[in-house]
């Protein structure tokens, strides 16, 4: 199959759209091909977490991208996708959206979506990325489980009524492809500048749980030029965070 023979895939249900997109990418599907599902039975989040994916209300999608950037820049695609989603939700749907490093979409103090980027090689030896995006669209407050109702929200709750998930899938795709073009032509500094416009927690007191289980408390100084988060601890040491959990200290 030629890469141009692949088309977007629309599914009622699947385990994870990232898994489907990865397999299409391995077979050579072209830059920009997307997978949208109405429901996921094994939706995945960052750090091995589960992404709760009830049927028919939300956006669960993944896009195959083959950016013309060096391999060592690929991890920056998570923030690139964050900018693309935030600008789309702000410009097209008039939602007051915020970003939390590295991959969360927020409205006010609650999470409404997240991004899971994965990188691998196709059968022809070319590296590609799968950008998975989950956004709570048409869920009402009463639809959230007791476990997450205090920390999760949706576009509907934020005022976006009658939102068509398929339209959102197309709108985010076009925003993602255009933001990747800007990354390719102007560099990551362009993406970072726009990410900072939506940075919700710069200046806040945060706790970083390191991958080896330590707890670092300090001020969130925002991402550096490579997209790593800077946290200044109480002794003034600046830590560069590549992975792990970073959360508000003592959220009320
Ligand atoms: C996170 O916040 O931890 C990231 C969540 C990413 C969820 C999306 S839903 C569509 C795609 N398929 C998956 O299995 N995960 C991503």
CB-ligand 1 contact for 78 (6 Å cutoff): no
- pLDDT tens-digit readout, 94-110: 999 999 999 999 999 99
CB-ligand 1 contact for 116 (6 Å cutoff): yes
Mean pLDDT of 82-102: 97
Q: What is the pLDDT of residue 249?
A: 83
Q: What is the pLDDT of residue 189?
A: 98
Atom of ligand 1 nearest to the CA of 61: 10
- Ligand 1 pocket test, pick from 64, 111, 134 with the greatest ligand atom count within 8 Å of Cβ, gives 134
Query: What is the SS3 assignment for 28?
Result: coil
CB atoms within 10 A of CB 147: 9
In angstroms, the CA 223 to CA 240 distance is 9
CB-ligand 1 contact for 67 (6 Å cutoff): no
SS3 content of the chain, % helix, strand, coil (to 5): 30, 30, 40
Q: What is the pLDDT of residue 251?
A: 55
Atom of ligand 1 nearest to the CA of 45: 3
- pLDDT tens-digit readout, 160-182: 988 999 999 999 999 999 999 99
- CA 242 distance to own-chain centroid: 16
Q: Which of 44-48, 114-118, 239-243 has the highest mean pLDDT?
A: 114-118
44 CA distance to ligand 1 centroid (A)?
Answer: 5
Mean pLDDT of 104-129: 97
For residue 88, what are its two tokens? 């789309």
Whether 58 contacts 137, CB under 8 Å: yes
Strands of 89-138 (E only): list them.
98-100, 104-107, 110-121, 127-135
Strands of 101-249 (E only): list them.
104-107, 110-121, 127-135, 205-209, 215-223, 229-233, 238-241, 245-248
43 CA distance to ligand 1 centroid (A)?
Answer: 6
Residue whose Cα lies nearest atom 16 of ligand 1: it is: 132
Mean pLDDT of 121-126: 97
Q: Which helix (H) or strand (E) holds 79?
A: helix 77-91
75 CA distance to ligand 1 centroid (A)?
Answer: 16
- pLDDT tens-digit readout, 133-156: 999 999 999 999 998 889 999 999
Residue whose Cα lies nearest atom 7 of ligand 1: it is: 134
Tallying the residues shown for the chain, one arrives at 252
In angstroms, the CA 77 to CA 98 distance is 17
- pLDDT tens-digit readout, 41-55: 999 999 899 999 999
Taking each continuous run of H as one helix and of E as one strand, the counts in the chain are 4, 12
Residue 28 region by backbone torsions, left for phi larger than 0, else alpha for psi between -120 and 50, else beta: left
| Weakest mean pLDDT among 36-45, 50-59, 209-218 | 209-218
For residue 39, what are its two tokens? 């429901």
Backbone angles phi, psi at 80, to 5 degrees: -60, -45
């Amino acid at each position: 199959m030629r890469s141009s023979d692949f088309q977007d895939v629309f599914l009622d249900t699947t385990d994870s759209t990232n898994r489907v997109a990865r397999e299409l990418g391995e077979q050579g599907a072209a830059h920009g091909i997307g997978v949208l599902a109405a429901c996921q039975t094994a939706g995945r989040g960052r750090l091995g977490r589960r992404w709760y994916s009830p049927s028919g209300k939300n956006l669960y999608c993944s896009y195959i991208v083959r950016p013309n950037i060096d391999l060592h820049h690929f991890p920056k695609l998570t923030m690139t996708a964050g900018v693309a989603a935030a600008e789309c939700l702000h410009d097209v749907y008039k939602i007051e959206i915020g970003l939390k490093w590295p991959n969360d979409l927020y409205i006010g103090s609650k999470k409404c979506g997240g991004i899971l980027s994965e990188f691998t090689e196709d059968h022809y030896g070319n590296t590609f990325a799968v950008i998975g995006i989950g956004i709570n669209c048409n869920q009402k407050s009463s639809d959230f489980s007791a476990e997450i109702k205090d920390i999760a929200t949706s576009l509907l709750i934020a005022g976006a009524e009658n939102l068509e998930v398929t339209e959102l899938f197309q709108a985010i795709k076009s925003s993602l492809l255009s933001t990747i073009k800007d990354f390719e032509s102007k560099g990551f500094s362009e993406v970072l500048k726009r990410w900072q416009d939506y940075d919700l927690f710069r200046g806040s007191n945060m706790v970083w749980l390191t991958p080896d289980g330590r707890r670092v408390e300090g001020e969130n100084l925002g991402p550096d030029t490579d997209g790593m988060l800077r946290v200044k601890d109480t002794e003034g040491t600046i830590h560069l965070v590549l992975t792990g959990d970073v959360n508000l200290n003592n959220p009320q």
